């Protein structure tokens, strides 16, 4: 369906082909996301989800998640369940990342369809191309954690909302909206309700006044959300005293105000959070500022249906970034649900450029960015290796240095292409240049992740440890307050790990009374080590130690060092 400036719609053969193109793009991109999905091994954050899923199968309990065979109710269960289904079919494998690949495909298709609803089928396809070649989106599609499910939940909810608005009385689309949000809540708590709810509520009030909120059928929404979300939460609350308070108050309210206990994560600075969002949205973030003036026109009631669509997308971005900017507990990847919005703005810029509606200053901006990228790439070719070598941990993975020149060359080439198409004012060339520029950079980053495996994955360490100590040796992990980091060690050794008690640790309320079962005291550990028991020791990965001296009582021998982790044995 094509959208005219006045909002009228007319079907054309080209639009039908564009819709098929969206389907083909989604299928092709999803298949490409899954190429070599087993590389690298799970990194720290992924491995905790993999281990919980593995233990679901080992224990036969799909209701009460466990990590290192200790109750773990910090997260809702959907990601664990889906990963466990993959494990049940294929055994423990990094291909559990198919969970995120499938969610990425859903987010991609929803973005295409929302773009088609706002500005026409072809603009939707271009938005899909932008999302499929967005650096942060591709990397997250290959990462096992709930954030891609949340991204898909928000994108699908917003698409269903717009369809419901355009098709008055279309209850099926409203059901789809609430189902999408329910799935998001089952993946990562109440956050999706805020991220999607903010643009939906503001957009609805802006277009139809406060009475327009009734059209969202909140009663229907409560029923649908309740059917999806309530059963697991109620069952777990009845099984495990302390869960309800921890989940509602500690994991949500206190987390937002950075008062959650235990203090198992350190928030990123606001500047880093915003910079990381721009980096994840690369290279398409370059086009987003070119739509701001149109969003302003949409806010004041000018510019017609397309300007209102642009305003909606900016409300989406503002809702995600604004919400997480209010809390110091933010982490950089929390901005992921805004990436489809950036892709949509890229589709709108292409549409305006093709119609000759992009001003000369916009093309000049793009040409200037292209020149800067080319210059930066040239500098990287000359000095990139030396600059990288200044970071201490990079020297532990020499393969990183070999990637400096190819990455710089790719950046320089991308800059030249962008400057060229901007000078010539070619809309199609602009999209092609940015999409093609991303491909080699994605390949290089994925290769860098493989090189980083010994530093940030537990697999090499676990394999060396299992090969060096007897099967009956007890593995003791110097747990930081973020004790969940043990997940990767447990997953790759397929053993229960003994946690050395972190100083001052305050457990979640549902673990009250289980501290003695959960942790080994430091004095007890030292006594057992001196007594000659069969013990192995893995140091805290969050502390940098240049030597292993003082980590355990003498005598000991070093099995190996993996990044900032020392592996010692009696």
* pLDDT tens-digit readout, 139-184: 999 999 999 999 999 999 999 999 998 887 678 999 999 999 999 9
Asked if residue 18 has pLDDT above 80, the reply is: no
Secondary structure class of 89 (helix, strand, coil): helix
Of the two residues 83 and 456, the one the predictor is more confident about is 83
* Reported confidence tier of residue 12, pLDDT bands at 50, 70, 90: low
Which pLDDT belongs to residue 11? 52
Q: pLDDT-derived band of residue 262, with 50, 70 and 90 as boundaries?
A: confident
- φ, ψ for residue 557, nearest 5 deg: -130, 150
**Rounded distance, CA 20 to CA 413, Å?**
32
- Give backbone dihedrals phi and psi of 442, rounded to 5 degrees, phi first: -60, -45
End-to-end CA distance of the chain: 70
Can you give the pLDDT at residue 4? Answer: 42
Of all residues in the chain, the percent with pLDDT exceeding 70 is 96
Q: What's residue 2's pLDDT?
A: 40
- pLDDT category, 6, cuts 50, 70, 90? very low
Per the DSSP assignment, residues forming a β-bridge with 498 are 476
Cβ 568 vs Cβ 556: under 8 Å:
yes
And the tokens for 321?
A: 């970034």
Can you give the pLDDT at residue 7? 38
- pLDDT per residue as tens digits for the range 335-393: 999 999 999 999 999 999 999 989 999 999 999 999 999 999 999 999 888 888 777 77
Coil vs helix vs strand at 558:
strand
Q: Give the burial string for 76-108 (b: 16+ CB within 10 Å, else e).
A: bbbbbbbbbbbbeeeebbbbbbbbbbbbbbbbb
Residue carrying the six token digits 């806010």: 299
What's the confidence (pLDDT) of residue 524? 94
Compute the chain's Rg from CA coordinates.
25
pLDDT band at 258 (very low <50, low <70, confident <90, very high): confident
How many of the other CB atoms lie within 10 Å of CB of 357?
11
> pLDDT at position 307, please?
93
Rounded Cα–Cα distance for residues 531 and 56 (Å)? 36
Residue 91 has pLDDT above 80, yes or no: yes
Residue 171: count other Cβ atoms within 10 Å of its Cβ: 11
What pLDDT sits at residue 248?
87
| Strand 565-569 with 535-538, pairing | antiparallel
d(CA 426, CA 160): 33
pLDDT at 16: 61
Note the pLDDT of residue 3.
Answer: 41
Q: Are 476 and 498 in contact, with CB atoms under 8 Å apart?
A: yes
Residues listed for the chain: 570
Residue 259: pLDDT over 80: no
Residue 506's SS3 state is: coil
Structure tokens at 299: 């806010």
Query: Which are the contacts of 121, defined by CB distance < 8 A and separation ≥ 6?
Result: 1, 2, 14, 15, 16, 18, 19, 22
Average pLDDT for the chain: 91
Judged against a pLDDT cut of 80, whether residue 5 lies above it is answered with: no
> Tens digit of pLDDT for each residue in 397-446?
778 888 989 999 999 999 999 999 999 999 999 999 999 999 999 999 99
Q: Output the CA–CA distances (angstroms, integers) from residue 212 to 81, 200, 215, in the order listed.
A: 37, 11, 6
pLDDT digits (tens, 9 = 90+) for 494-511: 999 999 988 888 888 888
Contact indicator for 532, 555 with CB cutoff of 8 Å: no
Could you count the other beta carbons within 10 Å of the beta carbon of residue 558? 12
Percent of the chain with pLDDT over 90: 73
Q: Cβ atoms within 10 A of the Cβ of 50, count?
A: 29
CB atoms within 10 A of CB 239: 13
Whole-model pTM? 0.93
Distance between CA atoms of residues 418 and 400, nearest Å: 27
Element (H, E) at 524: helix 522-530
379's enclosing H/E stretch is: helix 360-388
As a whole number, mean pLDDT of residues 62-72 equals 95
Q: Which of 220, 219, 251 is nearest to 233 (CA)?
A: 251
Which residue bears the tokens 């289904």?
Answer: 85
Average pLDDT over residues 264-274: 86
Please report which confidence band the pLDDT of residue 525 belongs to, taking 50, 70 and 90 as the band edges.
very high
Answer yes or no: is pLDDT of 96 > 80: yes
Q: Is the pLDDT of residue 124 over 80?
A: yes
Q: Residue 10: its pLDDT value, please? A: 46
Residue 264, pLDDT above cutoff 80 = no
Token pair 């950079």 in the structure block, residue? 441
């Amino acid at each position: 369906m094509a959208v005219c400036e006045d909002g009228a719609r007319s079907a054309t053969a080209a639009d039908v082909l564009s819709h098929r193109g969206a389907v083909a793009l989604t299928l092709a991109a999803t298949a490409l996301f899954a190429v070599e999905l087993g590389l690298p091994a799970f990194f720290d954050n992924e491995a905790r989800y993999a281990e919980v899923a593995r233990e679901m199968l080992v224990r036969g309990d799909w209701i009460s998640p466990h990590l290192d065979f200790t109750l773990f109710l910090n997260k809702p269960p959907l990601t664990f369940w889906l990963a466990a289904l993959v494990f049940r079919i294929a055994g423990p494998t990094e291909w559990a990342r198919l969970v995120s690949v499938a969610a990425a495909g859903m987010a991609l298709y929803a973005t295409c369809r929302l773009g088609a609803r706002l500005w026409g089928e072809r603009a939707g396809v271009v938005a899909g191309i932008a999302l499929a070649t967005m650096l942060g989106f591709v990397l997250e599609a290959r990462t096992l954690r709930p954030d891609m499910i949340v991204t898909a939940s928000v994108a699908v909810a917003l698409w269903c909302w717009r369809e419901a608005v355009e098709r008055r009385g279309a209850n099926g689309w409203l059901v789809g909206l609430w189902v999408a949000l329910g799935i998001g809540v089952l993946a990562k708590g109440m956050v999706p309700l805020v991220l999607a709810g903010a643009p939906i509520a503001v957009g609805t009030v802006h277009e139809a006044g406060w009475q327009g909120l009734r059209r969202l059928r909140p009663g229907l929404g409560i029923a649908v959300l309740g059917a999806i979300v309530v059963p697991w939460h109620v069952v777990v609350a009845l099984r495990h005293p302390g869960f309800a308070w921890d989940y509602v108050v500690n994991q949500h309210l206190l987390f937002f105000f950075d008062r959650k206990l235990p203090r198992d994560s350190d928030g990123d600075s606001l500047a880093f959070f915003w910079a990381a969002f721009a980096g994840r949205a690369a290279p398409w973030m370059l086009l987003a500022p070119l739509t701001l003036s149109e969003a302003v026109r949409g806010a004041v009631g000018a510019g017609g249906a397309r300007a209102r669509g642009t305003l909606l997308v900016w409300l989406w971005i503002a809702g995600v970034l604004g919400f997480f900017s209010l809390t110091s507990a933010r982490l950089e990847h929390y901005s992921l649900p805004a990436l489809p919005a950036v892709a949509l703005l890229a589709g709108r810029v292409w549409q305006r450029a093709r119609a000759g509606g992009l001003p000369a200053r916009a093309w000049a901006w793009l040409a200037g960015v292209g020149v800067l990228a080319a210059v930066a790439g040239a500098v990287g070719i000359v000095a990139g290796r030396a600059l990288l070598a200044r970071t201490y941990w990079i020297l532990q993975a020499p393969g990183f240095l070999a990637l400096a020149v190819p990455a710089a060359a790719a950046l320089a080439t991308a800059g030249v292409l962008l400057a060229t198409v901007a000078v010539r004012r070619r809309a199609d060339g602009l999209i092609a240049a940015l999409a093609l520029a991303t491909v080699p950079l994605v390949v290089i980053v994925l290769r860098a992740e493989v090189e980083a495996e010994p530093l940030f994955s537990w697999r090499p360490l676990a394999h060396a440890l299992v090969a060096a100590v007897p099967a009956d040796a007890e593995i003791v992990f110097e747990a930081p307050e973020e004790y969940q980091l043990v997940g990767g060690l447990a997953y790759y050794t397929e053993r229960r790990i003994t946690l050395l008690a972190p100083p001052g640790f305050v457990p979640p309320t549902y673990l009250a009374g289980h501290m003695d079962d959960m942790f080994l005291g430091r004095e007890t550990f030292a006594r057992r080590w001196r007594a000659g028991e069969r013990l192995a020791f893995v140091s805290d990965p969050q502390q940098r130690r240049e030597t292993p001296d003082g980590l355990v009582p003498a005598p000991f021998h070093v099995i190996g060092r993996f990044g900032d982790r020392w592996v010692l044995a009696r």
